C-alpha cells in the first residue's frame, strides 16, 4: 500500500526550469527523510538532494548546489524538487526515496521514477 508517485518530468531546454513532485501515501510521511536520486543511462544512481522530517536539514550534491531546491509539505504528503538552470548533464530518470528516520535502512521506499530530458 506504500506508494511514492513522481510527476513533473519532461523535456526542457538548457537553462530552463522544471519542478518535480513526489506524492506519498501508505505511511506516516512526516516521520521520513525524503530524498531525490537520479540515474542517467550507463551511469550509477546518484543522490541529488535530501530533506529531513521537519525541513530543518537540507543537503545537496555538489553538482546541483545553487540550481536545485528541495522542499516538502507534510500536510500534503509531498516532496518537491525545483530545478533551475538545467543542463544537458541533468538528463536522467529522477527517483523519489523515503527512509524512516527512526529505523534507517529497515524502512526504505522508492518511486517509479520520472524522466527529465534537457535538450535543445
What's 77's DSSP letter? T
Percentage of the residues of the chain whose pLDDT score is greater than 90: 99
3-state secondary structure of 92: strand
Residues 6+ apart with CB under 8 A from 67: 83, 84, 85, 86
Report the pLDDT averaged over residues 76-97.
98
pLDDT at 74: 98
Averaged pLDDT for residues 30-34: 98
Give me the mean pLDDT over the 27-46 stretch. Answer: 97
C-alpha cell, 120: 535543445
pLDDT of residue 109: 98
Cα 66 versus chain centre, distance:
16
Amino acid at each position: 500500500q506504500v506508494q511514492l508517485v513522481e510527476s513533473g518530468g519532461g523535456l526542457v531546454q538548457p537553462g530552463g526550469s522544471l519542478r518535480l513532485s513526489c506524492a506519498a501515501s501508505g505511511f506516516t510521511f512526516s516521520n521520513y527523510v525524503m530524498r531525490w536520486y537520479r540515474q542517467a543511462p550507463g551511469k550509477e544512481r546518484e543522490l541529488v538532494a535530501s530533506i529531513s522530517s521537519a525541513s530543518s536539514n537540507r543537503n545537496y550534491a555538489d553538482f546541483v548546489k545553487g540550481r536545485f531546491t528541495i522542499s516538502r509539505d507534510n500536510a500534503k504528503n509531498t516532496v518537491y524538487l525545483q530545478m533551475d538552470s538545467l543542463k544537458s548533464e541533468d538528463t536522467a530518470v529522477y527517483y523519489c526515496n523515503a527512509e524512516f528516520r527512526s529505523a534507517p535502512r529497515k524502512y526504505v521506499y522508492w518511486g517509479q521514477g520520472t524522466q527529465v530530458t534537457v535538450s535543445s
